[in-house]
Amino acid sequence: MNHTVTRQMKLIFNIFGVFLKIGPSTFGGGYAMIATIEQEIVCKRRWMDEKEMGDMVSVSGSAPGGVAVNCAAFIGYRLGGVLGAVAAVTAITLPTFFIVFLLSFLSVIFKDNAKVEAALKGIHAAVISLIILAAFKMWKSSVLDTATLIIAASAVILLLFTGIHSFYLILGGPIAGIAIVLFKRSKGMFVKTEKEQTEEKRELHFPEYYI
Amino acid sequence: MLWQLFLVFIKVGLISFGGGYAVMTLIQREVAGKGWVEAGEFQEIVSLAGMAPGSIATNTATLIGYSQSGFLGAVAATVGIILPSLIIVIILTASFIRLQNNDLVKSSFYGLRPVVTGLIIYAAIHFGLSGRSESLLSWSMAGTLLICAGCLTLVTKYKVHPFGVILLAAVAGIVIF
């Protein structure tokens, strides 16, 4: 009994260590991290196989939240139950948490420095460009026909011109999706609900920055 | 206050489909409604959050929590935004639900994905224009557009890593502004 507990603790500790290492390398975030995880978990440690990686991508893509955190939760849970999931998520978040803190302290110290302010302005412009890029990529995999084009356009218009809370949009999207698919099928039309798998697979190994 | 921060970010975490930039719109609405952070300060927070590794949404939560009630506030906000994902992923993994092959789920995501696209587009427009007192034709706006266009070219054409782009943009900012 005592032996299993020690082994369990060791496993949890291992999970924590691996994700602590992956955490700071999630620069570029989300899907870029999947390649790192694949190398660390599948190739190096053989904790999971390729098929489980597929499950992981599917689960972490459909749950709310960032892909990085969701992947950590998935792997942690598969390996060490709830405790493993908590360890993995904590480990992947912790380094970033402290880096954010450090940056925040530095920014307070140099707040009135004109050069730092200028640098932050430059970074702001860079962040905008990364958001545009993310929007463009998301557009390619989500706007598949006229119906989805109308949904995307109405979401932007509603956000710009009304004070609507995004919650209603996120609730309305799936309802509209189900309604449109049912309607189109009743008319005997074929609906492509997602981009082809092959394209999605290729996209995964491409550094993305929207999670 | 801590409890309130925790609750707000639990709410954001629960509906943070699409992660990252789509969530920025959620956070901005939520925080503006509460009057916690003004537009200019929010922009600064977003710039800092973009500089650190990891999810920009989680980083923003950390910084907002910190600005409201210090270290504990940061912990409350960060745990709040992550907890729903953790629980939902555990439930999905444990129940072996094959989400991707379910027709209803497929249809839902067919409708949800364009909404997430809309949220990201709005985030781009909002962060591009808000908190600016100067007119659209000012030197500052031209500089922002220039850096923005430069970054887009670097990432798409020369495949420069996003972090490299952020560093270069910081240097460009010092030169231009």
Query: Smallest Cα–Cα separation from A66: which of B11, B86, B25, B5?
Result: B86
Report the 10 Å Cβ neighbour count for A36: 16
pLDDT of B97 reads 59
Residue A206 has pLDDT above 70, yes or no: no
Query: Smallest Cα–Cα separation from B111: which of A211, A158, A200, A144?
Result: A144
A23: in domain: yes
Q: Is A168 on the interface with B (CB under 8 A)?
A: no
A191: in domain: no
pLDDT class of A132 with cuts at 50, 70, 90? confident
Q: Which two tokens stand for residue A43?
A: 């190739």
**Residue A63 belongs to what domain range?**
2-106
CA A93 to chain CA mean position, Å: 13
What sections of chain A are H helices per DSSP?
Answer: 2-22, 30-37, 50-62, 67-109, 114-142, 146-161, 166-186, 197-204
Residue B29 has pLDDT above 50, yes or no: yes
Identity of the residue in B51, B155, B162 whose CB atom sits nearest the CB atom of A103: B51
ipTM comes to 0.78
A46: in domain: yes
pLDDT of A32 reads 61
Mean of pLDDT values over B39-67? 85
A147: in domain: no
Q: Is B8 on the interface with A (CB under 8 A)?
A: no
pLDDT of A198 reads 46
A36: in domain: yes
Yes or no, beta carbons of A172 and B113 under 8 Å apart? no
Q: Is A94 on the interface with B (CB under 8 A)?
A: no
State the total domains in chain A. 1
Contact A130, B128 (CB under 8 A): no
pLDDT of B100 reads 58
B109: left (phi over 0), alpha (psi -120 to 50) or beta: alpha
Q: Is A109 on the interface with B (CB under 8 A)?
A: no
Rounded percentage of chain A residues whose pLDDT exceeds 90:
18
Compare B73 and A210 and report the one with higher pLDDT. B73
A53: in domain: yes
- Write out residues 73-102 of B within 8 Å (CB-CB) of A: 74, 78, 81-82, 84-86, 88-90, 92-94, 98-100
pLDDT class of A196 with cuts at 50, 70, 90? low
Mean of pLDDT values over B99-124? 82
